[in-house]
């Protein structure tokens, strides 16, 4: 059984094709369907439909299918952090933490208990084994690349993982599923945070965190209105402010520039390209490096959101994290999000952004 690959079968087309490719390659293959969120009081959770889809795929491929719930671990290791970060006025990314703690944490441990040697998933990423370590590389399909979400996965875990879709474009993945007769070939991709699904985000948060209204202010301290809670807003946001034109000011849209947690105030500015929306440098907490930790400043590419293009930056290691100086100011850097570092296609690791300035500092 040590050579058996366990594929994480979510019920979507990506994991189904990952299983298909491994089956065709001759691997001893079994499947595992995990559930990380079990509340469905308002009908938004798709867990039942996902399980049924996974069953149909496993039956079509004639592979054994196991089922497990990691809902308790998810609440303790991911969801509690998610709520604490929003309560502190930051904007967390629980999907990054879920990969580290659940999918490639407790799930990988469970694979061992099942007798599996490796875990395969439908992530769009590539792994390159080397004499010293396994390198995490961007997927060939840059539009689907998910290495940003994998930046915190421990190197030891990557040694026991397979990403069969890393070389394929998404359009080919769907075509492979269609030609193979997989019942999920046209199933829509899941969107949003995994445990929230398509439900209204504001309503979801309100069910767990108390409302804390406060003032909406300009940088000069002029009050323009009231917000319902800092947790409902993020840096760079335009919609949902409910403040119209202000007498004596230009009729330009307002954007969130900062959160003043001490005053429970939302700081807003006018104009999409207002200088206060741009950061010249940022600071992270402790960085999870996928290779040797650097001990001197180095140049690399920085990515602070999943769908944002990587930009040139200089990383300056420190005792509690790194300082990152950008070659060009970057818009809407939000504390709580992750900064991922790249050397070409290779993901070097990343850390949580704890602060960002609005000065256009550059390196030479």
Where in the sequence of the chain do the CATH 2.40.30.10 domains occur? 276-356
CB 334 within 8 A of CB 295: no
Residue 190: HSE in the Cβ half-sphere, 13 Å Cα cutoff: 22
Q: Which of 45, 98, 347, 358 is catalytic?
A: 98
DSSP for 238-289, please give it: -TT------TTS-S--EEEEEEETTTTEEEEEESTT-GGGEEEEEEESS-EE
> What pLDDT does 2 receive?
55
Distance CA 306, CA 338 (A): 9
> What pLDDT does 197 receive?
61
Domain 211-272 homologous superfamily, CATH: Adenine nucleotide alpha hydrolases-like domains (2.30.30.280)
Q: Which of 45, 194, 300, 347 is catalytic?
A: 194
Where in the sequence of the chain do the CATH 2.30.30.280 domains occur? 211-272
Model-level pTM? 0.92
**Alpha carbon of 8 to those of 125, 170, 184: distances in Å?**
15, 18, 15
Distance CA 145, CA 137 (A): 9
> What pLDDT does 360 receive?
38
The length of the chain, given as a count of residues: 364
> What pLDDT does 313 receive?
98
Q: Which CATH architecture has domain 276-356?
A: Beta Barrel (2.40)
Residue 76 in tokens? 């303790």
One digit per residue, the tens of pLDDT, for the chain of length 364 reads: 458 999 999 999 999 999 999 999 999 999 999 998 876 555 556 788 899 999 999 999 999 999 999 999 999 999 999 999 999 999 999 999 999 999 999 999 999 999 999 999 999 999 999 888 999 999 999 999 999 999 999 999 999 999 999 999 999 999 999 999 999 999 988 765 655 566 677 888 888 999 899 999 999 999 999 999 999 999 999 988 988 655 666 778 999 999 999 999 999 999 999 999 999 999 999 999 999 999 999 999 999 999 889 999 999 999 999 999 999 999 999 999 999 999 999 999 999 999 999 753 333 3
Residue 180 in tokens? 């193979």
> What pLDDT does 363 receive?
36
Known active-site residue 300: no
Domain 5-179 homologous superfamily, CATH: HUPs (3.40.50.620)
Distance CA 355, CA 283 (A): 5
Known active-site residue 358: no
Where in the sequence of the chain do the CATH 3.40.50.620 domains occur? 5-179
Enter the DSSP assignment of 293.
P
């Amino acid at each position: 059984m040590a050579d058996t690959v366990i594929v994480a079968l979510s019920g979507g087309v990506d994991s189904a094709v990952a299983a298909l490719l491994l089956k065709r390659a001759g691997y001893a293959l079994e499947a595992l369907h995990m559930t990380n969120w079990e509340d469905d009081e308002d009908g938004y959770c798709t867990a039942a439909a996902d399980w049924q889809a996974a069953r149909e795929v496993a039956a079509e491929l004639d592979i054994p299918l196991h089922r497990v719930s990691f809902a308790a671990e998810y609440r303790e290791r991911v969801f509690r952090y998610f709520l604490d970060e929003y309560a502190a006025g930051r904007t967390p990314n629980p999907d990054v933490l879920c990969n580290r703690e659940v999918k490639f944490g407790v799930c990988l441990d469970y694979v061992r208990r099942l007798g599996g040697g490796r875990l395969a998933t439908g992530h769009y990423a590539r792994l390159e084994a080397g004499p010293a370590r396994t390198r995490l590389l961007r997927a060939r399909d840059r539009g689907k690349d998910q290495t940003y979400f994998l930046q915190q996965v421990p190197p030891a875990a990557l040694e026991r993982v397979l990403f069969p879709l890393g070389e394929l474009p998404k359009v080919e993945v769907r075509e492979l599923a269609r030609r193979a007769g997989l019942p999920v070939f046209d199933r829509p991709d899941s969107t949003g945070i995994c445990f929230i699904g398509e439900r209204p985000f504001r309503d979801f948060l309100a069910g767990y965190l108390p409302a804390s209204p406060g003032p909406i202010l300009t940088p000069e301290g002029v009050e323009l209105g009231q917000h319902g809670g800092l947790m409902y807003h993020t840096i760079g946001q335009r919609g949902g402010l409910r403040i119209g034109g202000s007498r004596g000011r230009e009729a330009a849209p307002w954007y969130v520039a900062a959160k003043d947690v001490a005053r429970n105030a939302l700081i807003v500015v006018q104009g999409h390209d207002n200088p206060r929306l741009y950061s010249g440098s940022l600071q992270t907490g402790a960085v999870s490096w996928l290779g040797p930790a650097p001990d001197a400043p180095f140049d690399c590419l920085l990515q602070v959101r999943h769908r944002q293009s990587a930009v040139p930056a200089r990383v300056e290691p420190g005792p509690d994290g790194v300082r990152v100086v950008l070659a060009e100011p970057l818009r809407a850097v939000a504390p709580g999000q992750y900064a991922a570092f790249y050397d070409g296609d290779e993901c070097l690791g990343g850390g949580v952004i704890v602060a960002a300035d609005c000065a256009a500092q550059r390196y030479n």
